[in-house]
Amino acid sequence: MAKLPPDEVLLMGPGPSPVHPRVLEAMSWPTLGHLDPEFLTIMNETMDLLRFVFQTRNRLTLPISGTGSAGMEAALVNFIEPGDRIIVCVNGVFGTRMADIVGRCGGVLIEVKAEWGRAIDPDDVEKALDDNPGVKAVCIVHAETSTGVLQPLEPVVELAHDRGALVVVDTVTSLGGIPVKVDDRGLDVVYSGTQKCLSCPPGLAPLTVGDRAMELFGKRSSPVQSWYLDLGMLTKYWGKERVYHHTAPVNMIYALHEALALIEEEGLEPRFERHRVNSAALVAGLKAYGMSLLPPEEERLPSLTAVLIPDGVDDAEARKKLRFQHGIEIGGGLGDYKGRLWRIGLMGHGSRRENVERALRAIGAVLNDLGHKCSADEALAEVDRVYRTAG
């Protein structure tokens, strides 16, 4: 039999992130029927709170019942029909997944690639648009979880809209920790997940869709590939009609409502600044250990730090020691960076100074155990310098 409850572990990997006690408490509230009047009010408030965090006025803003991957599928299957030309920007694992879905929808896939660890070059997107007239959508990852890259969006949006294409954006590791600005940036279809910077358990996928995309959705000539993720039916459940579609995960929606309420109480700008400063402190400490970051500074995520493992340090052994000796989880590398990279998350409720310092002490101890000599005192001095500078 499994040991229950499980050990309490400080989650500092690529997700899930630590969950605030108020959110865990919300999951224990009495379960209501998914069409109960009280629950319908909670649904409405959850949609309003999502609009606040997405920074949008989009009417169609709701949580898909499923993890972030369900949000990815919903954002694509509803807008792609067989033969549609779709550009997917690939600079990590999650761009690759979008490309896979395009093929499964019968779309004509056009890939724009960048080296893992670097942002997509808008010039390459422009060339792909020029070479492929009639592109329906450009799909791009705002925060690439596999490499720690933050993608500038404005140049890509401008290029796509100039040619009549939609922009579909993955914000799974950015929503709630980094400005998404759906309306200001003109993003058409945006999806996320609850388990990263929103600090809610995995299980829901926030999605927002703008008017331009909904107009195209209304012109579909074929049924949506997925019955479960068909926005035509989902909007009737989440909208005024309240037409039964599926049994919503009631207690998960309580949890999301509470997680979003916490963000509203903190305020977006203070929250973004908290993520930025804590990330800068972690990076300063890692550099004091002689470690190098994968993305250049101007393309680096504040919610997830991708750091190269020092030569001679065994990845699996180090992460095992962190987990079982220090009670901390961090993530390993993917693809070509498997065994060469650590992914350290500072997301939502987990983005705190005490976690930065605890992680650096533990990483320093493990590195020394495995032959990479370094000083935790020096690293923590650099951390203190960052916080003093930030005020």
Half-sphere exposure of 275 (CA within 13 A, CB side): 30
In this predicted structure, what is the pLDDT of residue 3?
83
Rounded to 5 degrees, φ, ψ at 109 are: -80, 130
Distance of alpha carbon 251 from the chain centroid: 22
- Write down the domain spans for the chain: 21-264, 268-390
Half-sphere exposure of 93 (CA within 13 A, CB side): 13
- Residue by residue, pLDDT tens for the chain (391 residues) are 888 999 899 999 999 999 999 999 999 999 999 999 999 999 999 999 999 999 999 999 999 999 999 999 999 999 999 999 999 999 999 999 999 999 999 999 999 999 999 999 999 999 999 999 999 999 999 999 999 999 999 999 999 999 999 999 999 999 999 999 999 999 999 999 999 999 999 999 999 999 999 999 999 999 999 999 999 999 999 998 999 999 999 999 999 999 999 999 999 999 999 999 999 999 999 999 999 999 999 999 999 999 999 999 999 999 999 999 999 999 999 998 999 999 999 999 999 999 999 999 999 999 999 999 999 999 999 999 999 999 7
In this predicted structure, what is the pLDDT of residue 194?
98
Half-sphere exposure of 291 (CA within 13 A, CB side): 31
341: which 2 tokens? Answer: 């990279």
Indicate the class that CATH gives domain 268-390.
Answer: alpha beta
Rounded to 5 degrees, φ, ψ at 170 are: -90, 115
- Rounded CA gap, 231 and 239, in Å? 11
Q: What is the DSSP string of 125-156?
A: HHHHHHHSTT--EEEEESEETTTTEEPP-HHH
Given CATH 3.40.640.10, say whether it is the number of domain 21-264. Answer: yes
Distance of alpha carbon 72 from the chain centroid: 11
| CB distance 53 to 145 below 8 Å | no
Residues 6 or more apart whose Cβ sits within 8 Å of residue 40: 242
Give the three-class secondary structure for 64.
strand
In this predicted structure, what is the pLDDT of residue 123?
98
Identity at 262, one-letter amino acid code: L
Q: Is the pTM of this model over 0.85?
A: yes
Strands 108-113 and 60-65: unpaired
In this predicted structure, what is the pLDDT of residue 1?
86
- Rounded CA gap, 275 and 197, in Å? 9
In this predicted structure, what is the pLDDT of residue 391?
76
